[in-house]
Chain A
Amino acid sequence: GAVVSQHPSRVICKSGTSVKIECRSLDFQATTMFWYRQFPKQSLMLMATSNEGSKATYEQGVEKDKFLINHASLTLSTLTVTSAHPEDSSFYICSARTFNQPQHFGDGTRLSIL
């Protein structure tokens, strides 16, 4: 089945650091990639949608200057959390899909900001 790889799986860093998370579709070309965030005991919340080669579309309340998304190729999207603070600590999950196919998800990145 379709495989989406996310890296790193866990990050612990100091407040003020910028953190980059990579999402790759390993066996298919992803026309669209999505980024979600999940806080403890809550469901996944969509942060943004990105199509290859174009700017990401952010959900209401998600700061685009805080969460930089780059979707430079059909197999790679990156999420950069800029100047991270403790309230940005969360489980970040990416997903990818190609046209008319279900989304497939990565295994998530647990971000802890000290």
Chain B
Amino acid sequence: DAKTTQPPSMDCAEGRAANLPCNHSTISGNEYVYWYRQIHSQGPQYIIHGLKNNETNEMASLIITEDRKSSTLILPHATLRDTAVYYCIVRVGAGNNNDMRFGAGTRLTVKP
């Protein structure tokens, strides 16, 4: 599976956009980019995923570069409740045994 690299920590001002980068230079053609986040003492929460096109939902936007070697998760208006560890995971999309393997993630702190 392709490995991902994320900065260990980031800060963001409340109300501003939070842009979380992820490098996945060895991604293969059938691997999707998934983003999850984990708020302290809770289970991970699914945010968004994509293959090659940019994606947007009610939580966030996912921008994937044309060569698919990196992506950015965008929280358009960060709130204090967005403080969490954000995980970027690359996995094959289809198939029953598509388990998520978690790296260290990025600890995002939203400050007032």
A contact set with B: CB distance below 8 Å: 1-2, 4, 6, 31-32, 34, 36, 43-46, 49, 51, 57, 91, 93, 95, 97, 99-100, 102-108, 110
Contact = CB atoms under 8 A, between A and B. Distances in A.
Interface of B: 34, 36, 38, 41-46, 49, 87, 93-105
A46 B42 contact: no
Query: Does more than half of chain B's interface fall in helix, strand or loop, or is it mixed?
Result: loop
A32 B100 CA distance: 12
B28 to A, nearest CB: 18
B102 A107 contact: no
A71 B36 CA distance: 25
Give the top 3 A-B pairs by smallest Cβ distance, nearest first: A105-B43, A44-B102, A43-B102
Given A45-B102, A91-B41, 18 more contacts: A4-B43, A32-B96, A36-B102, A43-B87, A43-B102, A43-B103, A43-B105, A44-B44, A46-B99, A51-B97, A95-B100, A99-B95, A103-B46, A103-B100, A105-B46, A106-B43, A107-B43, A110-B41
Contacts of B103: 43
